[in-house]
Amino acid sequence: MSRGNVTNSLNATAEVLCPSGVSFGDGQCFCDWRVQLTGCPKEESFLRILYLINTIACFVVFIMITGLLIWRTTVRGQRLIAKDPLKEMGYFRPRPLECFLLLNMLHVCSRLLYSVCLLSQYLTSNTLLELFHDVTFTISLASLAVYLIGLIYTVPRSHITRYRHHSHSSNEAKIIWIPRPAIVDSFGFFVLIGPIVSLNTFAIISGMYMDNADVEKAEIWITVHYLSWSFFCWIIMIGLVYFGSRLTNVIVTHIEDTKYSGRATPMKIQNLERGLNKLRIISYFCCSLGFDCSYDERYYCYYFGI
């Protein structure tokens, strides 16, 4: 968000969203660069270049993610939904990496379409732009949610039992809390459907008030909107940290037991360690992505003088 000579707090009687093609003039309007380009005369050239780069980058990343997903599902034979022969899982059991890739493929594709719409001025309504902008990131948030659910089920109860009774690791065995399948299903439904319903609704309401030049009410709903973003991001992040660290401990213990037994080849141990490093990298990436989303939304609220 860039402004003219305006204060940090919105004033409904003095500040409105700059109309398309209108300069700041006396500084009594502000420009929302998330959903507006032509109302930002001082920054329009820079923003057009920025969104053009974003469009190209999204296209390249979309091709890469699509290729990786096709390779994992066709060549490697990985499924999007995990099998449950021991009946230890609930109804909602996504494979973490595959579903994460699928949803982020949709996220990047939607960001690509959004950038094209913004550059071409295909959409002019603030309500539609706010909704489209929010839907793209809601998909990304959903990818973190399904990765978390898949991560929870990656630590099966049967493995925990073997770990506690037959481990030769020097680390003391600890009880790992795993929620029941019904709780996981309920939690998964909450972190998936909750953001889709609430965040997109708040985006529509704030956009409608912006279209009607009612900045005071728009400010209130934008605040609620982005505080809700922080709420969902922090819930998912805490879950990723807890279950990611538990799964990492189980894999480390398994590697130590494999080395202790002396029956595993160096290649097998190397593959296990490579898998552990991949898990750590993906977990760090997901946590940093969730923190970045949460920080951005809280900063946005601060920017509005909260």
Amino acid at 104: N
CA distance 127 to 136: 15
pLDDT tens-digit map of 144-173: 888 888 877 776 454 444 444 444 444 444
Q: Up-side HSE of residue 89: CA atoms within 13 Å toward CB?
A: 20
Residue 247 pLDDT = 74
Given pLDDT bands bounded at 50, 70 and 90, which one contains residue 305? very low
Give yes or no for a contact between 125 and 209, defined as CB atoms under 8 angstroms apart.
Answer: no
Distances in Å between the Cα of 283 and the Cα atoms of 72, 100, 150, 157 are 19, 12, 12, 21
Read off the pTM. 0.70
């003219």: which residue's tokens? 4
Residue 224's domain spans which residues? Answer: 2-303
Note the residue count of the chain: 306
Looking at the structure of the chain, the number of domains it has is 1
Which span out of 29-43, 170-184, 185-199 was modeled with the highest average pLDDT?
Answer: 185-199
Element (H, E) at 65: helix 44-70
Two tokens, residue 261: 């037994």
